[in-house]
Structure 1
Amino acid sequence: MRIFLTGATGVIGRRVVHELSTQGHQVTAVGRNSAKQETLRQAGAEPVAVDLFDTEGLRRAVAGHDAVVNLATHMPSSSTRMLFRSAWRENDRIRKVASSNLVDAALSAGANLFVQESFAPAYPDSGDHWIDESTPLVPAAYNRTIIDAEAAAQRFTDAGGRGVILRFAAFYGADALQVRDLIWWVRKGWAPLPGLPGAYISSISHDDAAAAVIAVLRAPAGVYNVADDEPVTHRAYVDTLTAALDVSSPRLPPAWLTPLLGSVGQVLSRSLRISNRKIQQESGWAPRLRSVREGWPEIVGALGAGGRGST
């Protein structure tokens, strides 16, 4: 299969590039500078420098491909920056404009598959009830444009293609800046995870998220939750991490702090027990790390020095 991939140098994208190339797919991957292009080339992809907002350039780049996989995002540079609405503007533009441009290019190319990343924590607080794909999204201000991105993928399906939307749970992995920030705070005796201790958090490791992208290349059109098998409570999430770090487990933030964290705090405080049943049934995918109870010890071990990383 000839696959056009955006977001190819991100934590999920670079894993996807490697696996697609290993499986023998022809991968064209977007890389905006020479260093990223060389990294993509070494991973087995053909790099292309194209602006996702240049509609004509994008049509030329996508021509001849069977599938488009859109993993492009622009995350704020730190956990602190995430609290500022302005830090999400470029990400909003990518989801609202670039996603639509990519669908137009895919349709023009006659591609039969379009895969769009989305965000499962946009589901509403659901207590201890399981959440499936039929639950309406209630995005916060900072991630409202996932509605636009999902609509673009649905437009691809409506035009006769196979549009697949992946609603990823909370990512974690050894190469995530946010994970390193979380570990730093936990070592300082504070857990930046607002909400009730008994609220649920659904997670997905970077490796398992990438494996899901590969798996849905053969799945029917539709929306799929990508989460591990066993969501845990906020208290268990922090306790599992601190046990892996061999440090004392800190208190969770008080309830009065959540409103001060804006829309990001609102989302983080939600209780989200997300079901992955549909993607397992339709694609055969299953997470290797069934919960953070398995994941945190592995990731802390990969970071080395008790979770401090190479620095």
Structure 2
Amino acid sequence: MRVFVTGASGWIASAVVPELLTAGHQVLGLARSDAAAAKVAALGADVQHGDLNDLEGLRAAAAASDGVVHLGYNHDFSQMSAAADTDRSVIDAFGEVLAGSDRPLLIASGVLGLANGRTATEDDRPDAAAHPRVANAAATLALADRGVRSIVVRFAPTVHGEGDYGFTRMLAGIAREKGVSAYVGDGANVWPAVHRLDAGSLVAGAIDRASAGTILHATAEEGVPSREIAEAIGRSLDLPVKSIPADQAVGHFGWIGPIFAADSPTTSEKTRRLLDWHPTHNTLIEDLDAGYYSSPR
């Protein structure tokens, strides 16, 4: 199978590409810069130069491929609305090309906010009006009715590993700046987590095994208590650890405060059964204790 991958040089996709190649697929990776192109080529993939705004180029690449893994996204939180609009345009473009072909289209979504007061599952279908990315996921799933093998992978908020620049890196940076590693309230609320290499193997397996309209959860750990995360950050940075009241979360953490304070247990039981997926890499706490977050990026 020839698979077109957007965001191919990115944090998750750069773990997906080797998995696809190992499985015997050919990979065409989208790269928007010379540096990204060099990274994609080093992974062993062919390179298509361009970006997510080049819809004609994306359509042509999808038309020449047997499937699409769409992981490219602008994660600048100051441009969330524009990023979601671009993402929807890309999904619609891929849907037009793949309609009636039963070729796979896999996109990324997230698990935060799926359920309140209980463990979220792959069966949860949040209201599309809740967030533009939720609406984009729903639009992708609806492509199953048009003959597209549509797949949505909901990733844990923490996709960790050496070189991670996401939420956990932000929390470590805040702790370094404030001189204390904090958690909110009693710290019993949990974050799901997955190692990027386990996430990569899940996506590659989904391209081969998942049927149209499938939702998968890339969560190796159902939920890591935020207090344990804060304690591990404290150990890695040799900083004290303390609780802060919920009404001070934004003041201490900034915009990430309510996210870190959220309680989001999420199971991946159905995903594991469907794909025979067995995460084997480090847990989040093991990566924190390994020192991957102890120095500034």
| TM-score interval (norm. to shorter) | 0.7 to 0.9
In 2, Cα distance between the equivalents of 1:138 and 1:290?
A: 34
In 1, Cα distance between the equivalents of 2:37 and 2:237?
A: 40
Letter in 2 for 1:113: P
Write the deviation string for residues 143-183 of structure 1: whole angstroms up to 9, x where unpaired. Answer: x1212321232132111232111110122222122343322
Letter in 2 for 1:7: G
In 2, Cα distance between the equivalents of 1:290 and 1:282?
A: 22
In 2, Cα distance between the equivalents of 1:130 and 1:209?
A: 20
> Aligned pair 1:107/2:95, yes or no?
no
Aligned to 2:160: 172
After superposition, residues 155-170 of structure 1 pair within 5 angstroms as: 155-170=142-157
Q: CA deviation at 1:104?
A: 1.9
Q: CA deviation at 1:94?
A: 2.9
* Cα 1:288–1:90 shift into 2, 3 Å: farther
Q: CA deviation at 1:124?
A: 3.6
* Cα 1:291–1:57 shift into 2, 3 Å: closer
Matched pairs, number: 291
* Stretches of structure 1 lacking an aligned partner (at least 5 in a row): 77-81
Aligned to 1:257: 248
TM-score normalised to structure 2 length = 0.86
Letter in 1 for 2:172: I
Letter in 2 for 1:105: V
- Secondary structure at the aligned position of 2:271 is classed as helix
Aligned to 1:91: 83
> Aligned pair 1:119/2:110, yes or no?
yes
Provide the alpha-carbon RMSD of the alignment.
2.7
In 2, Cα distance between the equivalents of 1:30 and 1:130?
A: 36
After superposition, residues 83-232 of structure 1 pair within 5 angstroms as: 86-107=78-99, 110=101, 112-126=103-117, 129-137=118-126, 144-170=131-157, 171-178=159-166, 179-187=168-176, 188-191=178-181, 194=184, 197-217=187-207, 218-221=209-212, 222-232=214-224
Write the deviation string for residues 170-209 of structure 1: whole angstroms up to 9, x where unpaired. Answer: 2222212234332233344334655651111111122221
* Cα 1:262–1:183 shift into 2, 3 Å: closer
Q: CA deviation at 1:35?
A: 2.4
**Which of 206, 225, 237 is residue 233 of structure 1 equivalent to?**
225
In 2, Cα distance between the equivalents of 1:7 and 1:90?
A: 17
- Secondary structure at the aligned position of 1:40 is classed as helix
In 2, Cα distance between the equivalents of 1:22 and 1:249?
A: 44
TM-score normalised to structure 1 length = 0.82
Write the deviation string for residues 220-245 of structure 1: whole angstroms up to 9, x where unpaired. Answer: 331111112341211122223333x1
